[in-house]
Amino acid sequence: MDYLDLLPNEIKVIIADDHEIVRAGIKRILSTEKRIKILAEAEDGKIALSLINEYRPDLVLLDINMPELDGIQLTKILKETYPDLIVIMLTAFEDYHNVERALSAGADGYLSKDISPSFLVDAIYKAVLGERVFSKSILRVLEKPLAVGDSDNSNVSITKREQEILNYVAMGKTSQEIADILGISVRTVQNHRANIMQKLGIKTASGLVRFAVIYSSQQKLEN
C-alpha cells in the first residue's frame, strides 16, 4: 500500500512567515496538492495564534524569526493548548541552538527553506502520518556529538524495548501515548526513558529527543 493511501482527504494548513514573497511561494507549492487546504496566512506570531485559534488547522508551518511572537515561542504555546496540532518549523536558521529550542518547544519537524517543493510536500504528509520530519541539512546539525556525560556511548547497550520507545520518542509520541501503544504503564515508559538517559549521560528531554531522532534514522538506514 502506498503511504499516500493512509492520508486523510483534507489536511488543513496555516502558514506563518513575515516575508510575503515566502508565503506566496509556499502557497504556490501547496496549492497543487489536492489533499492540502490552506486556511490562512500570517505575517507575525500573534496573528498566527489568533488564526489558529479561529480555524483550528491540522498543521502549521512556522518561520522562527517573526515579529511580536517568534515561531519557537508560538510553538510552545500551541503545543500546550493543542497537543495534537502538527507544528513544523520552516526557516533559514540551521544552527544547533535553534533546532534544540524548537525540539524543546515540541516542534514536529524542522525544515530548511532551501528544500525542494517535493520535499516540503512529502514532509507534510509524513508529519501527518506521525513522523518527525527534518531536512538533510538539519539532520547533519543533529548528528553533531551529543552533549553527554563521560560514559563511552559506543559500548552502551540498548534493549529491544528501549529501541521501541526511542522510535516512538522520535515520532513525537508522549509517554502516555507510548504506554497506550505498547500496552504498558506510563510509569514503565518513564522508567525506560530515565534508564536510556542515564546510560547515555543525557541530561535533558530535548537531548533524548535529539538522540532518538538520530537513532531512529540510523535504524531505518540499516534495515
Render the burial of 27-62: b for 16+ CB within 10 Å, e for the rest: eebbeebeebebbbbbbbbebbbebbeeeebbbbbb
**Rg of the chain over all Cα atoms, to the nearest angstrom:** 18
Query: When comparing pLDDT for 170 and 192, which is higher?
Result: 192
Query: Could you read off the pLDDT of 112-149 as tens digits, one per residue?
Result: 999 999 999 999 998 998 888 888 888 777 766 444 44
Mean of pLDDT values over 49-68:
96
Residue type, 14: I
Q: What is the pTM of this model?
A: 0.76
Domains in the chain, CATH or no CATH each: 3-142 (3.40.50.2300), 153-222 (1.10.10.10)
Query: All 3 cell numbers of residue 70?
Result: 517568534
Nearest to 184 by CA among 161, 166, 167, 163: 161
Q: Is 17 in contact with 88 (CB distance < 8 Å)? A: no
